[in-house]
């Protein structure tokens, strides 16, 4: 059991959720406000993607990230900023009899430096590193992160003084993360997020979950989450197994059956679950100390 847990609020993501709930933040202003509200509710870390303000489609424009980051930094409420670096590795293949060339819609493949441009420009305290390639969801979309790409991006993160949050969707991703540490590309303290229940990565069952947990070295700092209605059960499972917590509209839209949630409401419920288990919710300064973050 982890008796001093931190909560990460993943406030918007890049999935097709905008048309499903009017609570999903879309504009940079809305995303920043969701991060601040989540911090007031108890989140120590705000994990942010950005979207096209007009369409709600996932985006990676530096100017959108800049507005989000500046609004959060100017706020009276403190929170650790964690930006995604996953965009730019999106490959959508053609039909099964003609997979190449990739379909233009849904494909966004960029080089390591371009994928890291917003991180290098804005210097968040944390950014994510999706530590492998995955058949992500349905259709012909592949989340694409080759070993060479991951080495290059991880080295840029280390050189910038930004802490990588390794996002592991299966045990092989943890295996490669250990390799990055062994090669000296990622430095201590190592931070990892166990991503459960996402087709077609690690499934939601407890045997697979504990296999993931048992593959995390004892010295690493880790969190775990699942999606949809399994989000709150994994709040308890994460704390019970010694980890930290992630909730938010990136992963789950509902507070209760048929009731759309806000990010702050999900954070509040997660905090209630953890504190009812006897845990203390720690804030951003304690997280900075634990992870040796560089506050900017």
| Calpha distance 87→49 (Å, rounded) | 9
pTM of the predicted protein model = 0.96
pLDDT value at residue 203: 96
Burial class (CB in 10 A: 0-12, 13-18, 19+), 212: buried
11 three-class SS: coil
DSSP state of 229: G
pLDDT value at residue 162: 98
CA neighbor of 46 nearest in space, from 14, 15, 17, 13: 13
192 three-class SS: strand
Could you tell me the two tokens for 1? 């059991």
Domains belonging to the chain, first-starting first, are: 4-291 (3.20.20.70)
pLDDT value at residue 295: 85
Burial class (CB in 10 A: 0-12, 13-18, 19+), 182: exposed
pLDDT value at residue 224: 98
Mean pLDDT score across all residues of the chain: 96
Q: Which residues 6+ apart lie within 8 Å of 223 measured at CB?
A: 6, 8, 192, 193, 194, 238, 243, 244, 245, 246
| Calpha distance 296→292 (Å, rounded) | 13
pLDDT value at residue 296: 84
pLDDT value at residue 158: 98
Tens digits of residue pLDDT in 223-276: 999 999 999 999 999 999 999 999 999 999 999 999 999 999 999 999 999 999
DSSP state of 275: H
Could you tell me the two tokens for 266? 């999900």
Could you tell me the two tokens for 175? 């295996």
Sole residue written with tokens 């965009």: 87
If phi > 0 it is left, if psi is from -120 to 50 it is alpha, else beta; for residue 279 that is beta
DSSP state of 27: S
Tens digits of residue pLDDT in 33-90: 999 999 999 999 999 999 999 999 999 999 999 999 999 999 999 999 999 999 999 9
pLDDT value at residue 106: 82
If you average pLDDT over residues 152-162, what whole number do you get?
Answer: 98
């Amino acid at each position: 059991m982890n008796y001093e847990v931190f909560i990460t609020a993943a406030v918007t993501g890049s999935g097709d959720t905008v048309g499903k709930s009017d609570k999903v933040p879309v504009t940079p202003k809305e995303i920043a406000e969701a991060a601040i509200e989540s911090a007031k509710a108890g989140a120590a870390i705000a994990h942010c993607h950005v979207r096209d303000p007009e369409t709600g489609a996932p985006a990676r424009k530096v100017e959108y990230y800049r507005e989000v980051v500046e609004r959060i930094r100017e706020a009276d409420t403190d929170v650790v900023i964690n930006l995604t670096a996953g965009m730019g590795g999106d490959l959508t293949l053609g039909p099964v009899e003609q997979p190449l060339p990739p379909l233009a819609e849904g494909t966004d493949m960029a080089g390591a430096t371009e994928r890291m441009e917003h991180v290098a420009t804005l210097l968040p305290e944390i950014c994510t590193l999706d530590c492998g390639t995955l058949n992500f969801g349905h259709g012909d979309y592949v989340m694409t992160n080759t070993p060479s790409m991951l080495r290059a991006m991880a080295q840029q993160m280390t050189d910038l003084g930004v802490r990588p949050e390794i996002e592991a969707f299966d045990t092989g991703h943890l295996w490669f993360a250990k390799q990055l540490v062994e090669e000296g590309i990622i430095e201590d303290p190592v931070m990892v997020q166990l991503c459960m229940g996402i087709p077609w990565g690690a499934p939601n069952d407890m045997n697979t979950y504990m296999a993931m947990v048992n593959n995390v070295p004892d010295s690493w700092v880790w969190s775990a989450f699942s999606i949809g209605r399994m989000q709150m059960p994994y709040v308890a499972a994460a704390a019970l197994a010694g980890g930290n917590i992630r909730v938010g509209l990136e992963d789950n839209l509902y507070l209760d059956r048929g009731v759309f949630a806000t990010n702050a409401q999900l954070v509040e419920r997660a905090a209630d679950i953890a504190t009812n288990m006897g845990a203390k919710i720690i804030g951003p300064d304690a997280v900075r100390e634990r992870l040796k973050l560089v506050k900017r």
